[in-house]
């Protein structure tokens, strides 16, 4: 029995030792905090508020690593605004990004379109979500001065207005909520009975009150940004008299001016120039190992194979758009205006051998065979990926010059990522909206003067030989120009093209198309001009284009529903538990 | 200090309770332990029937009891038996059991015949060992000898088809990790089983560091009754591996060597176009049928095409040729070969037909050498092994190399045993497609893209690729492999355990404490060299390097009690506590813009002097998690006839919400050996019949740690922004990155199993059958949230529900013909049905993670299986305009294109008509083993079959629809729709047809196959030869072939696909997208010779 006692004792000791070993801090043993992340307490202060605001700005290019999504998220709206319009083709080759083909051919109820719509939806609402998070946090922290607090609130409300406006442009009927409604599923997902424009204008009016007229950092929005943006929203929502008042104030009293010449607006050197109202501040070699801050969602738009870039050849200007740049040899006015029925009759490649006079903006906007491409050499046929599919022209407007050294040193095909800012709103856009408001409110001569201002500036410089940084821009009659005949005329006082509302409309719309070509506005402009007009323009476009680009034979009719809005992404409808309702006509 | 002191006090009472409980149990055990008495003694020797050599370590057990012993190093044993009228059962791993009635003798000599199919004697079932015949749960023992005939570096890959109810997917890339699923798929993510090696919980990649030659046994715990002792992580089943232990007896040295040559089982050169001019016929048809001008820049005049002399990015319009003077003409320009310059003006010769497969794949040498030294004395055993394995990949610049050292020792003193198992491995992988990698960016993906007209090299010394219009966007796969030839991934793995145990009360009570560890170090680097030769070129060099460490430890303490009361009541009880902790940390960095265009191996470092210092980036992150568990098990049987077993385990996990982190997992099983009933005695053909039933629960908490609270953060490419407008710097920004859920709780798997084990004809015919149903509730999963809630990772919730129902069986037969011929056959089969029972409130489906060029292709839909294929249902072709007019309205309908079905009947074909078009889950999988032994010759073969599984052949995007001008299937030219060939396989070739390529049932193919996995013939040298070399005790030589033939209708490369690895914020989502062929590294046909020498 003694032996048994001893053994039993040993056993108990072994178990006790084992248990005691565990007992060392076992209470905390299962409490393991997340590694390498911040918690809500760490950020509940001024640093946190600022950081949240910066993250709201970071969505301005439409993309972040947390939203992902394909090219449909691009803030340039190159797909939704231009490829879906008469301005541009998808480009590249057939089968590359078939989703964009579906959008281009008005197959908007397909799952391919739905995927891109869903990406864009998620990205825009991430911008809204980050803006709301900033405001929510701002309300909860102390230790910020009234000025600091007002400034942050103004910026966050501006950004929220911008993201809502982009969403409204796409879908019109969208859920609208503020930082106060977060967590309420019905409020955050229902799009019935919402009034996005009211919310956007409320935010912008608040921002105008809260923001200073200047900011120490170039990327931050000011009172004037908000004011100019309010004018834009008013014009888009049909409040032309409001738009006229607001934008006139911006024109007369604001800090903005047209850049000296057209190319400067899109050059790296011209970033944040006098014409910039709102732009995405791109950056490269900034410590981001994949170059993701360098206009990532717009990376596919460089010329292909034989070019110095090598990839990928998307967003090719259409024949229709190239024809639109032709001017009347008699007065230098757009052929679209002077010969509205025949300007688009030319099907042939408009290369450097063609002598018909053109607006010099053509060669800042479109890459054409034989014409110098900034300072990268002459555009060659081999720069196009599949010209039998998508024509002979390349995207050019936003591309950086060789001399600028704007390319990233990191990332896949690093040359596609660059530090050239992306304009989200520029002064010429605001002026043309003002001209539009002038026309609609009957101030035709004021509209004429604005159009002339734009045209005069367009005549300041043309694409030069580009053998060096100093001759990318030359006067439009420079003897070195052998590839084009540039001409820009203005509308003289009493011009018949501004004699009545209908004529002035045509002239202002033509000017807007030329000035803002390949900047993602076209389809949204056409929608603003009215369903009948948009249908007529786009159905006429696909009709003609079938003979130029055979794949347009598959295009569907652009109908009055398409002229209103895009379909709400079906995945989001499914997730909304019945709160989100499909737009009429797409049900 | 104060805090920790307080916590000691706080938990003291809980621990006191535990100690008291443990103590009471011990007292109970103690009291019952006294009732033991001893009887009569039998002695004898156990020998090998074929060689006459003594067998040390054989088990001798009195039939119907747990009384037994093992033979010593001379094969001798002595055993106390209750009566000399009893029967003993003698068993030894690798030999057939022998049942010997004592018949009053006190001395018995027994010889055992080596077996070719194992019956599995003592099996390890979690913290303990049990006899197979006494188990009432569902446990499969793997025949290690049979398994090791498959020459793979990873034991999991060898298990394919050998165990019923277990699905294994892998590819032919050496050293690649296999995907193992036990009884269907349980969760939307993270379905890897729990792996236990010698009691050590290890990560699945540790299995790559285990030399299969070291394995003594593998057990798979399939139902909850068997697995719930591992409650916490057992929901996906448990694979228990034990390594070889020494046996008391003489020193035994074994050398195993195998050398073989591997070639791929199939090649894309059997599938894709090989002749440039034939390819041009396809290209021409694509353009012509679309009404587009036919490109002339490569092949010239479409009516009289020819292979060009040279290709480079020319003017895009005109073919190139060289005249007699060596002048190269292109368009109106001309030049000479001197114009070649690297990297700006690359010129390549047009090829009449490059066999890219032949360029990328070569026969490869695979070898494995293992030296094992084992033995022991009365009080100690040891087993030490050294293994070297070198598997060259059949793909060029691909290699897996590994060295392992393992030492298992055990020492006894008095009632105590001390021991350790420790293994150290170093392995290195270069190239290939490890981890089941697939897709466009892999060498195989790029191979599909390479047109035959592209040569391998250009006219300089550089690589050639598609840098000219119409040559596609591929990357030369040989170049890609070459460029990455130094990109090594190195693992150092050190794992094992230290343990001590005490056996008390005549070995009835066993107390054991074990500390085990799994220490992994991984480092790797890879370079991304420029691809000037590509049509989508990359012009900078970037380089990254990383170092991971993962340390886990597990501390386990158990008390085990075994006793027989009143002769017939057999009791086995187990109680234990266990804690587990894992810490993972990674540091990684990258740099780009190397000064040297093609940096050599001496300059592949992250160093400012070598590259652009502004691009240097470094970061680190980590994960930590802990588990704490109590468990207990009670087995009882009466006369080895009625069995009941209960298990309970309580686990706490750091990954779950503070209020819900503890889960309790009970299980119970019953068994009835009906064959021992007197009313069954008439059935004398039946030697054994045991009915089994079980019910139980297991858990799963395999999600990323830290998801119970909101997490905030940011990233340079996510929330940071250049607010200053500098164009070259960014300001920090933050946002919420992960939404936490403080209520996270255990995912629970409730499983029911019914089965039987039957033996006929003195056990020569064995049949095992199981039926089961598993219902997994509170499925951990992050349902997609509306986009309006932002892009932060949505909260993980316990919302889903899934079920698996299935059956599995194994039938084996051992036969003899005459005195010298032994034969055996074994067949296993499995079937399961997986069903999604609930996703989230109001949610009907969500898409899988795999995306092709045409978007998503999997759906997880209520009432269907996880990862089903999703798309349109094809309905032939539109043969005429009239047919289009009479069919539902469809944007893009045209003659010669696919017609899709109007599933919802609304008169038009839209996205709403997409439906489930296939499933990767097989209806039935089966393995068949055959063995023959005749005198010194042995023969075995193993055949595996998978039936009723579909494969989504995503490569059709390229090989049929020619997206990106890729290479295409040979039969596209002969079997595409034309007005004269309407009964075609493929739609009309048409460059503008972006409709037919929509994901549809066209992509879904029957993936059933039967494969001869292994065939082996061996010869054991007769003793007369051995006598020439004293010290040799046995020499066996063999020759074998693997994967020699495959029967399948699958038109792709290899129907045996790896699981495509995809991840979400919750974890690995591979099960939402298996069975997708995106271009896979095929399995290999390996012919090898081997020798097994025992000293």
Least confident piece of the model among A404-418, B123-137, B439-453: B123-137
| pLDDT of res. A149 | 97
Residue, of A587 and B487, whose pLDDT is higher:
B487
Q: In this predicted structure, what is the pLDDT of residue B10?
A: 40
Q: Which of B5, B663, B734, B881 to mutate to test the interface with A (most CBs of A within 10 A)?
A: B734
Alpha-carbon distance of B443 to B1081, in angstroms, equals: 9
- Residue ranges of B 313-352 with Cβ closer than 8 A to chain A: 313-317
State the SS3 of B354-419.
CCHHHHHECCEEEEEEEEEEEEECCCEEEEEEEEEEEEECCECCCEEEEEEEEEEEEEEECCEEEE
Whether pLDDT at B26 is above 60: no
Q: B728 and chain A: CB distance < 8 Å anywhere?
A: yes
Residue A567's pLDDT band (boundaries 50, 70, 90)? very high
Amino acid B24: pLDDT: 44
Q: Within a 13 Å sphere around the CA of B1029, how many CA atoms are in the beta-carbon half?
A: 11
Q: Which helix (H) or strand (E) holds B875?
A: strand B874-877
Task: Work out the average pLDDT over B13-38.
Answer: 40
pLDDT at B19 over 50: no
A80-112 pLDDT, tens digit each: 999 999 999 999 988 788 899 999 999 998 888
Among A521, A563, A356, A517, which residue's Cα sits nearest to residue A424? A521
Residue A236 vs residues A169, B526, B657, B980: alpha-carbon distances, Å: 9, 51, 49, 55
**Segment A532-556 mean pLDDT:** 94
Contact A558, A169 (CB under 8 A): no
Q: How buried is residue A1: exposed, middle or buried, by Cβ count under 10 Å (0-12/13-18/19+)?
A: exposed
Q: Is the pLDDT of residue B2 over 70?
A: no
pLDDT of residue B28: 40
Percent of chain A with pLDDT over 70: 95
Out of A16, A20, A54, the one facing B719 most closely (by C-beta) is A54
Minimum Cα–Cα distance from B787: chain A residue: A122
Return the residue in B581, B650, B717, B890 with the most chain A beta carbons within 10 A, the one to mutate for interface testing.
B717
What is the average pLDDT value for chain B, to the nearest integer? 88
Is residue B813 over pLDDT 50?
Answer: yes
Mean pLDDT of all residues in B885-892: 88
Find chain A residues with C-beta within 8 A of B539's C-beta: 310, 413-415
Alpha helices in B1019-1095 (DSSP H): 1023-1026
For the ranges A207-216, B362-371, B1053-1062, the lowest mean pLDDT is seen at B1053-1062
Contacts of A188 in chain B (CB under 8 A): 786, 788-789
Any CB–CB contact under 8 A between B799 and chain A?
Answer: no
Interchain contact B288–A (C-beta under 8 A) = no
pLDDT in tens, A338-384: 999 999 999 999 999 999 999 999 999 999 999 999 999 999 888 99
Q: Determine contact: B538 vs chain A, CB below 8 A.
A: yes
What is the structure's pLDDT at B249? 77
Residue A115 in contact with partner chain B when CB distance is under 8 A = yes
Q: Find the range with the poorest average confidence among B34-38, B368-372, B538-542.
A: B34-38
Average pLDDT rounded to a whole number, residues A512-531:
97
Judge: A554–B714 Cβ closer than 8 Å, yes or no.
Answer: no
d(CA B827, CA B161): 10
- The values of phi and psi at residue A555, to 5°, are -65, 140
Q: Which residue has the tokens 């864009």?
A: A120
Residues of A whose CB is below 8 A from B792: 66, 129
Contact B946, B1074 (CB under 8 A): no
The predicted structure's pLDDT at residue A17: 56
Q: What is the pLDDT of residue B149?
A: 76
CA-nearest residue of chain A to B501? Answer: A14
Q: How confident is the model at residue A26 (pLDDT cuts 50, 70, 90)?
A: low
Q: How far B466 CA sits from the closest chain A CA (Å)?
A: 9
- Sort out which chain A residues have CB atoms less than 8 A from B542's CB and list them: 410
Distance CA B582, CA B238 (A): 19
Contact (Cβ atoms closer than 8 angstroms) between residue A218 and residue A270: no
Query: Which pLDDT score is estimated for B930?
Result: 93
pLDDT digits (tens, 9 = 90+) for B421-445: 999 999 999 999 987 788 888 999 9
Q: What percent of chain B has pLDDT over 70?
A: 95
**pLDDT-derived band at B11, boundaries 50, 70, 90:** very low
**DSSP per-residue letters across A450-494:** HHHHHHHHHTT-EE---SSGGGSEE-TT-TT--S-EE------TT
Cβ-defined contact of B509 to A11 (cutoff 8 Å):
yes
Is A109's Cβ below 8 Å from some Cβ in B? yes
Which residues 363-402 of A are in CB contact (within 8 Å) with B? 380-389
Does B30 score more than 60 pLDDT?
Answer: no
Interval B981-997: pLDDT, tens: 999 999 999 988 888 99
The partner residue sitting opposite B315, judged by closest CB among A35, A96, A381, is A381
Determine the Cα angle at B163 with ends B157 and B167, to 5°: 55
Whether B628 and A22 lie within 8 Å, measured CB to CB? yes
Chain A residues near residue B790 by CB distance under 8 angstroms: 125-126, 129-130, 133
Q: Is the pLDDT of residue A6 over 70?
A: no
pLDDT band for position B17 (cuts 50, 70, 90)? very low
- Answer yes or no: do A105 and B468 touch at CB < 8 A: no
- Check whether the bond before A334 is cis (ω within 30° of 0): no
Placement of tokens 């060898």 in the chain: B158
Q: Please name the residue of chain B whose CA is at the shortest distance from the CA of residue A6.
A: B504
Residue B866: what pLDDT? 96
* A30, A31, A33, A34: CA torsion to nearest 10: 30
Give the mean pLDDT of chain A. Answer: 93
Please tell me the least confidently modeled range out of A123-132, A254-263, B201-210, B487-496: B201-210
Contact B537 A311 (CB under 8 A): yes
> Could you tell me what percent of chain A has a pLDDT over 90?
80
Q: Over range A23-31, report the average pLDDT.
A: 66
**What pLDDT is attached to residue B118?**
34
pLDDT value of residue B18 = 40
For A263-284, write each residue's pLDDT tens digit.
999 999 999 999 999 999 999 9
Q: Which of A220, A385, A574 sits opposite B723 (nearest CB)?
A: A220
Per CB-CB distance under 8 Å, the chain B contacts of A550 are 290-292, 992
Min mean pLDDT across A464-473, B138-147, B557-566, B723-732 is at B138-147
Residue B295 half-sphere exposure toward CB, CA atoms < 13 A: 27
Tell me: pLDDT of B1061 over 90. Answer: no
Query: What is the value of pTM for the model shown?
Result: 0.88
**Contact between B1054 and B234 (Cβ < 8 Å):** no
Cis omega before residue A312 (within 30°)?
yes
Burial of residue A144, with CB atoms counted within 10 A of its CB: 0-12 exposed, 13-18 middle, 19 or more buried: middle
Q: Is B302 on the interface with A (CB under 8 A)?
A: no
pLDDT greater than 50 at residue B824:
yes
Judged by CB atoms closer than 8 Å, whether chains meet at A382 and B710 is answered as no
The residues in A 548-587 lying below 8 A from B, measured between CB atoms, are 550-551, 553-554, 556, 569-572, 574-577, 580
- Report helix, strand or coil for A46: helix
In this predicted structure, what is the pLDDT of residue B121?
A: 61
């Amino acid at each position: 029995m003694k032996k048994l006692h001893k053994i039993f004792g040993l056993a108990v000791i072994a178990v006790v030792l084992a248990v005691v070993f565990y007992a060392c801090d076992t209470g905390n043993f299962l409490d393991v905090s997340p590694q390498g992340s911040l918690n809500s307490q760490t950020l509940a202060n001024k640093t946190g508020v600022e950081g949240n605001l910066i993250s709201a700005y970071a969505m301005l290019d439409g993309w972040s690593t947390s939203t992902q999504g394909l090219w449909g998220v691009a803030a340039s709206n190159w797909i939704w605004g231009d490829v879906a319009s008469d301005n541009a083709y998808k480009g590249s080759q057939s089968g590359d990004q078939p989703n964009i083909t579906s959008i281009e051919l008005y197959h908007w109820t397909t799952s391919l379109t739905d995927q891109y719509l869903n990406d864009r939806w998620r990205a825009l609402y991430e911008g809204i979500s980050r803006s709301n998070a900033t405001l929510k946090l701002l309300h909860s922290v102390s230790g910020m001065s009234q000025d600091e607090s007002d400034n942050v609130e103004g910026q966050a409300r501006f950004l929220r207005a911008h993201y809502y406006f982009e969403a409204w442009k796409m879908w019109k009927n969208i859920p609208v909520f503020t930082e106060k409604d977060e967590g309420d599923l019905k409020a955050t997902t229902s799009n019935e009975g919402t009034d996005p424009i009211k919310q956007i204008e409320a935010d912008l009016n608040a921002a105008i009150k809260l923001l200073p007229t200047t900011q120490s950092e170039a990327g931050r929005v000011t009172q004037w940004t908000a004011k100019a943006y309010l004018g834009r929203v008013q014009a888009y929502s049909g409040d032309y008299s409001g738009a006229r008042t607001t934008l006139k104030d911006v024109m007369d009293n604001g800090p903005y001016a047209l850049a000296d010449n057209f190319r400067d607006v899109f050059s790296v050197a011209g970033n944040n120039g006098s014409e910039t109202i709102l732009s995405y501040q791109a950056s490269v070699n900034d410590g981001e190992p994949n170059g993701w801050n360098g206009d990532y969602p717009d990376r596919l738009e460089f010329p292909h194979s034989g070019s110095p870039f090598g990839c990928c050849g998307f967003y090719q200007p259409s024949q229709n758009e190239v024809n639109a740049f032709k001017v009347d040899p008699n007065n230098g006015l757009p052929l679209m205006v002077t010969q509205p029925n025949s300007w688009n009759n030319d099907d042939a490649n408009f290369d450097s051998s063609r002598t018909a006079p053109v607006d010099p903006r053509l060669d800042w906007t479109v890459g054409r065979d034989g014409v110098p491409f900034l300072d990268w050499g002459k555009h060659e046929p081999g720069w196009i990926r599949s010209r039998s599919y998508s024509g002979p022209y390349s995207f050019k407007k936003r591309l950086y010059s060789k001399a600028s050294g704007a390319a990233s040193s990191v990332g896949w095909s690093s040359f596609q990522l660059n530090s050239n800012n992306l304009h989200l709103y520029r002064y010429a856009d605001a002026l043309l909206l003002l001209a539009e408001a002038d026309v609609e409110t009957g101030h035709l001569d004021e509209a004429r003067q604005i159009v002339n201002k734009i045209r005069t500036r367009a005549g300041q410089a043309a694409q030069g030989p580009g053998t060096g940084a100093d001759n990318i821009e030359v006067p439009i009659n420079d003897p070195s120009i052998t590839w084009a005949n540039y001409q820009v005329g203005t509308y003289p006082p009493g011009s018949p093209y501004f004699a009545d509302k209908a004529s002035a409309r045509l002239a202002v719309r033509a000017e807007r198309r030329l000035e803002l070509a390949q900047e993602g506005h076209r389809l949204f402009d056409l929608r603003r001009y009215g369903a009948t007009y948009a249908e007529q323009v786009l159905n006429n476009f696909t009709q003609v284009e079938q003979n130029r680009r055979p794949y347009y034979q598959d295009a569907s009719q652009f109908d009055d529903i398409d002229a209103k809005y895009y379909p709400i992404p079906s995945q989001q409808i499914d997730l909304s538990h019945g709160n989100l309702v499909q737009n009429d006509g797409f049900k | 200090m104060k805090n920790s002191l307080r916590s000691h006090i706080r938990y003291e009472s809980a621990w006191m309770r535990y100690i008291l409980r443990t103590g009471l149990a011990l007292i109970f055990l103690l009291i019952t332990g006294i009732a033991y008495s001893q009887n009569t003694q039998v002695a004898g020797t156990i020998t090998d029937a074929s060689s006459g050599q003594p067998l040390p370590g054989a088990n001798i057990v009195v039939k119907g009891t747990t009384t037994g012993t093992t033979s010593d190093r001379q094969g001798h044993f002595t055993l106390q038996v209750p009566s000399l009228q009893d029967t003993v059962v003698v068993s030894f791993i690798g030999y057939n059991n022998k049942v010997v009635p004592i018949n009053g003798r006190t001395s018995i000599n027994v010889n055992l015949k080596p077996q070719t199919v194992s019956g599995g004697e003592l099996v390890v079932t979690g913290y303990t060992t049990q006899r197979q015949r006494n188990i009432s749960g569902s446990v499969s023992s793997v025949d290690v000898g049979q398994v090791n005939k498959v020459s793979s570096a990873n034991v999991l890959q060898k298990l394919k088809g050998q165990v019923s109810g277990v699905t294994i997917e892998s590819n032919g890339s050496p050293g690649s990790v296999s995907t193992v699923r036990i009884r269907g798929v349980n969760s939307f993510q993270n379905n890897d089983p729990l792996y236990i090696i010698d009691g050590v919980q290890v990560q699945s990649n540790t299995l790559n560091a285990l030399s299969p030659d070291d394995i003594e046994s593998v057990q798979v715990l399939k139902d909850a009754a068997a697995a719930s002792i591992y409650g916490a992580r057992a929901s996906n089943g448990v694979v228990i591996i034990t390594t070889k232990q020494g046996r008391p007896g003489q020193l035994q040295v074994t050398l195993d060597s195998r050398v073989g040559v591997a070639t791929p089982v199939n090649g894309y050169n059997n599938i894709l176009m090989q002749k440039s001019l034939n390819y041009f016929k396809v290209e021409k048809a694509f353009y012509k049928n679309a009404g587009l001008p036919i490109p002339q820049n490569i092949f010239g005049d479409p009516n009289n095409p020819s292979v060009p002399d040279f290709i480079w990015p020319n003017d895009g319009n005109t073919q190139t040729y060289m005249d007699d003077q060596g002048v190269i003409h292109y368009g109106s320009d001309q030049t000479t070969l001197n114009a070649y310059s690297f990297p700006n003006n690359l010129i390549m010769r047009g090829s009449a037909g490059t066999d890219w497969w032949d360029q990328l794949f070569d026969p490869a040498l695979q070898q494995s050498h293992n030296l094992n030294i084992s033995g022991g004395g009365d009080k100690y055993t040891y087993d030490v092994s050294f293994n070297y394995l070198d598997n060259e990949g059949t793909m060029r610049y691909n290699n897996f190399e590994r060295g392992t050292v393992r030492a298992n020792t055990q020492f006894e003193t008095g009632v105590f045993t001390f021991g350790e198992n420790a293994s150290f491995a170093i392995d290195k992988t270069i190239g290939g497609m490890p981890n089941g990698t697939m897709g466009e960016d892999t060498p195989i993906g790029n191979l599909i893209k390479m047109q035959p007209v592209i040569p391998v090299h250009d006219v300089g010394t550089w690589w050639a690729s598609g840098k000219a219009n119409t040559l596609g966007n591929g990357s030369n796969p040989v170049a890609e492999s070459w460029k990455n030839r130094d990109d090594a991934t190195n693992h150092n793995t050190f794992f094992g355990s230290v343990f001590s145990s005490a056996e008390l009360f005549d070995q009835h009570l066993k107390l054991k404490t074990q500390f085990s560890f799994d220490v992994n170090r991984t480092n790797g680097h890879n370079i991304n060299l420029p691809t000037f030769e590509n049509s989508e070129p990359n012009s900078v060099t970037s380089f990254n390097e990383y170092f991971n460490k993962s340390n886990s430890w597990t501390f386990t303490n158990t008390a085990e009690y075994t006793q027989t009361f009143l002769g017939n009541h057999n009791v086995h009880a187990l109680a234990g506590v266990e804690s587990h902790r894992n810490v993972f940390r990674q540091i990684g960095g990258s740099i780009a813009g190397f000064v040297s265009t093609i940096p050599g191996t001496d300059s592949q470092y992250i160093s400012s002097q070598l590259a652009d210092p502004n691009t240097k980036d470094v970061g680190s992150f980590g994960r930590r998690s802990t588990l704490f568990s109590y468990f207990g098990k009670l087995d009882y049987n009466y006369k080895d006839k009625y069995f009941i077993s209960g298990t309970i385990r309580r686990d706490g996990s750091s990954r779950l919400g503070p209020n819900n982190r503890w889960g309790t997992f009970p299980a119970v099983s019953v068994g009835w050996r009906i064959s021992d009933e007197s009313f069954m005695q008439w059935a004398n053909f039946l030697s054994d019949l045991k009915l089994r039933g079980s019910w139980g629960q297991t858990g799963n908490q395999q999600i990323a740690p830290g998801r119970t609270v909101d997490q905030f953060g940011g990233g340079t490419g996510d929330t940071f922004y250049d607010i200053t407008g500098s164009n070259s710097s960014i300001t920090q920004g933050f946002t919420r990155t992960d939404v936490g859920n403080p209520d996270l709780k255990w995912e629970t798997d409730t499983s029911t199993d019914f089965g039987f084990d039957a033996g006929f004809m003195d056990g020569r015919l064995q049949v095992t059958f199981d039926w089961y149903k598993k219902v997994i509730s509170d499925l951990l999963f992050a349902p997609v949230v509306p986009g309006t809630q932002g892009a932060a990772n949505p909260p993980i919730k316990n919302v889903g529900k899934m079920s698996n129902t299935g059956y599995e069986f194994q039938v084996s037969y051992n036969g003899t013909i005459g005195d010298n011929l032994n034969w055996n056959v074994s067949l296993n089969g499995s079937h399961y049905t997986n069903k999604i029972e609930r996703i989230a409130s109001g949610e009907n489906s969500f898409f899988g993670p795999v995306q092709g060029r045409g978007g998503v292709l999997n759906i997880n839909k209520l009432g269907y299986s996880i990862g089903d294929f999703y798309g349109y249902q094809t309905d032939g072709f539109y043969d005429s305009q009239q047919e289009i007019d009479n069919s539902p309205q469809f944007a893009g309908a045209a003659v010669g294109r696919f017609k899709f079905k109007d599933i919802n009947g609304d008169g038009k074909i839209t996205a709403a008509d997409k439906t489930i078009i296939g499933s990767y889950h097989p209806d039935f999988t089966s393995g068949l083993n055959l063995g023959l032994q005749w005198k010194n010759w042995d023969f075995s073969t193993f055949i595996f079959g998978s039936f009723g599984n579909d494969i989504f052949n995503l490569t059709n995007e390229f090989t049929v629809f020619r997206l990106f001008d890729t290479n295409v299937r040979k039969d596209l030219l002969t079997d595409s729709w034309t007005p004269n060939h309407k009964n075609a396989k493929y739609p009309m070739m048409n460059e503008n047809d972006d409709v037919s390529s929509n994901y549809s049932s066209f992509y879904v193919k029957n993936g059933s196959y039967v494969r001869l996995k292994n065939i082996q013939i061996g010869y054991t040298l007769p003793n007369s030869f051995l006598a020439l070399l004293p010290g040799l005790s046995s020499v066996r030589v063999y020759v074998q072939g693997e994967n020699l033939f495959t029967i399948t209708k699958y038109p792709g490369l290899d129907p045996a696909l790896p699981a495509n690895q995809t991840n979400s914020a919750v974890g690995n989502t591979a099960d939402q997208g298996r069975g997708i062929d995106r271009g896979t590294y095929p399995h290999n046909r390996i012919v090898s010779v081997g020798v097994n020498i025992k000293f």
